[in-house]
Amino acid sequence: MRSFLCVIALAGTLALGVQGQGQREVFKLCVPHQIADACRDLLGDGVTGEGSVEVQCVSARDRMECLEKVNLREADFVAVDPEDMYVAYHMANQDFSVFSEFRTLEEPKAEFRYEGIVLVRKSDNFGGTADLRGKKSCHTGYGRNVGYKIPITKLKKLGLFKLANDPDMAPLEKELKGLSELFSSSCLVGKYSPNDEVNRQLKKTYPNLCALCERPEVCDYPDKYSGYDGAIRCLVENNGDVAFTKVIYVNKYFGLPVGESPAKPALNPNARTEDYVYLCEDGTTKPITGPACSWAQRPWQGYMGNGDINGRFQRLQKRLQQFYTEAKKSGNSDKAKKMWVDAKNILFDRGTPVLPGEHLNKAQNKDVIERDGPFEYKVKLCVNNELELQKCEVLRKAAFSRDIRPEIQCVLKANEGCVGAVERGDADVVVLKGEQQHGASAGALKPILFEKYDESDVMVAVADKGISRDELLKAPIQFDASDPRAISAALFFNDKRQRKTCPNQLASSPEAPIQIISAQDLARLGSNKVLICPSLNFEPIANYASCNVDYTFPTGVFVRKTIAGQLEDNISHAFVALSDKFGHGAATEIVFEMFGEFKPGSKNVLFHDRAAKFGQADNKVTNVDAAYYKQLMCL
């Protein structure tokens, strides 16, 4: 710690020297490329005079790369979630620190964003946490932090919650069965499975988990007894015994002060504060009129920097306060929101920066992030080269921090040895491009998922209106030679023109009269264009859905044929969860861009850059005949 403080002092001395010379002090804020324009528009150069502070925007692939850039001094700081703090903690905990936080106007002095608590009835005379067994429980909702993840993590640690040991039972069902056996009845709304039939079956199998809900037969949102305040209503108004919720909602429900704000009328004036207490993790209770005993807290989102700015963060804080105030008044709420600016929030300056590991441990949030859940093993993903390994490792860190289970483990097998590794059991899964799948599915591997693309993302052949028949048949074509989808479309188009070529003979000609592009890019070509269909007829560019030359054999997720049942379902669950969380258009795509250029010039690493998500293997995006595709690719 002494050496750490010395580094801070030295950095501060150096920074003061710069200021003393009247030079501009520059800090670099790293942002995902999707919000780089918003960053530049709202921050500008921020220079108001000699010796002033300037914040420059540094663009990165995603927030995971921003953490790397901050660590490598290519940027100074980045806006983060607690999950990103967890990743930084495992990268170089002593070299990161949180120095400012986005707090609410309601609770500007609260150390953490929220406190997960257990609310019980005082008259039930709880003598310890073991008394929770057999009680009627009220939850915010299935899979949510306060109402599900925190209780399960803590109750499992206390030995109260146990997973079923049935090897044939789906891991996610094991958690539901454990809750069903721990509590006599509950209100736990939500979708227990993305599959509607599985969701219905699980609720039918464990009806006591929905018995306390407003509509037990639906057991989904909206429900009077769901959410943070709904869980309290479930306890107070619906004869529940225990509610898992947040402190701030307890205060609002009973009309207690919230943060610095005076008490407002209670949401339920008939509810008496003296009738309810907080149940603490050590089994004691506390009155709800005083400080709560929370089971876990969630840190605020905030700005986190590297060790080089620890000695001069105060000057950066002043500039960021200016930015935050100006951004609120900018009139562009969309850009402000992208830059974490909210009219209901303030930017709180910490007097002393805090290391991410210490912050998460104090909040008891680290063990919640690290919870294994019902999955007791890792899925070994095989990769073929160093670049794929790098992306796999970033994927692994992002996925684990965001509660995607089973956990991914990256296995490198050089010289394209992954098919054999999966076949032997040295790995569980391999991702194969279309041209790599020849022989794999016919041998010892089988596909369980395929990439899906946006409906408007089909490959088309396009030319100027009035193109002659001779040009149509003989003209060279232009396409992206780095895109395997464009290559297969070009091969397909040439075959329809009776110009059979193999991939190694296929060449893209700049300024060629015929282009192979995605329909998503048609708008930039102007209106004087026409589509060429596989029949070699012409159609308006609006008809790309029926007139296209897309012959994509999509990238697939392959496992060995002997894998079946729950193990296959678990691997499928992990990859679907990955694409739901980090796929194209997902809210957290800015955290990790699963589909997109991994590094400048490195295209289609592991996955296709323009894929949107993963879907079931029996529902391919196009009607591709494997034998014909093999002929096109000269395999």
pLDDT tens digits for range 128-167: 999 999 999 999 999 999 999 999 999 999 999 998 888 7
Per-residue model confidence as pLDDT tens digits over 400-410: 999 998 999 99
Mark residue 530 as left, alpha or beta (left: phi above 0; alpha: psi -120 to 50; beta: remaining).
beta
- 103 pairs with which residues across the strands? 346
Q: How far does CA 624 lie from the centroid of its chain? A: 31
Of 391-400, 413-422, 527-536, minimum mean pLDDT range: 413-422
Per-residue model confidence as pLDDT tens digits over 241-252: 999 999 999 999
Q: What is the DSSP letter of 353?
A: E
- Tell me the pLDDT of the chain averaged across its residues: 91
CA distances from 629 to 345, 437, 455, 625 (A): 55, 11, 21, 6
Distance CA 29, CA 304 (A): 10
Looking at residue 394, what is its pLDDT? 98
Backbone angles phi, psi at 123, to 5 degrees: -70, -15
- Classified as helix, coil or strand, 389 is helix
Taking alpha carbons only, the member of 15, 111, 74, 107 closest to residue 354 is 111
Distance CA 142, CA 573 (A): 17
Taking alpha carbons only, the member of 555, 572, 552 closest to residue 563 is 572
pLDDT level of residue 311 (50, 70, 90 thresholds)? confident
8 A C-beta contact, residue 556 and residue 450? yes
Looking at residue 21, what is its pLDDT? 45
Looking at residue 16, what is its pLDDT? 40
Looking at residue 2, what is its pLDDT? 37
pLDDT above 90 as % of the chain = 80
Looking at residue 498, what is its pLDDT? 95
Taking alpha carbons only, the member of 460, 438, 581 closest to residue 62 is 581
Distance CA 393, CA 388 (A): 9
Distance CA 526, CA 537 (A): 20
Angle between helices 171-182 and 565-582 (to 10 degrees): 90
8 A C-beta contact, residue 472 and residue 530? no
Distance CA 494, CA 500 (A): 6
**Number of neighbours of residue 101 by Cβ within 10 angstroms:** 24
Looking at residue 245, what is its pLDDT? 98
Looking at residue 254, what is its pLDDT? 97
Report the pLDDT averaged over residues 402-426.
91
8 A C-beta contact, residue 5 and residue 33? no
8 A C-beta contact, residue 448 and residue 572? yes
Q: What is the DSSP letter of 289?
A: T
CA distances from 341 to 79, 111, 128, 305, 344 (A): 11, 19, 43, 18, 9
Per-residue model confidence as pLDDT tens digits over 432-444: 998 888 777 667 8
Looking at residue 22, what is its pLDDT? 54
Backbone angles phi, psi at 55, to 5 degrees: -110, 120
Supply the pTM of this predicted model.
Answer: 0.88
Distance CA 390, CA 550 (A): 31
pLDDT level of residue 618 (50, 70, 90 thresholds)? low
Distance CA 144, CA 459 (A): 40
Contacts with 27 (C-beta within 8 Å, 6 or more apart), sequence order: 53, 54, 55, 56, 76, 77, 309, 316, 319
8 A C-beta contact, residue 223 and residue 214? yes
Distance CA 295, CA 608 (A): 42
Taking alpha carbons only, the member of 585, 439, 462, 594 closest to residue 515 is 462
Distance CA 583, CA 586 (A): 6
Looking at residue 421, what is its pLDDT? 94
> Has residue 10 got a pLDDT over 90?
no
Looking at residue 49, what is its pLDDT? 44
Looking at residue 51, what is its pLDDT? 57
> Has residue 197 got a pLDDT over 70?
yes
> Has residue 67 got a pLDDT over 50?
yes
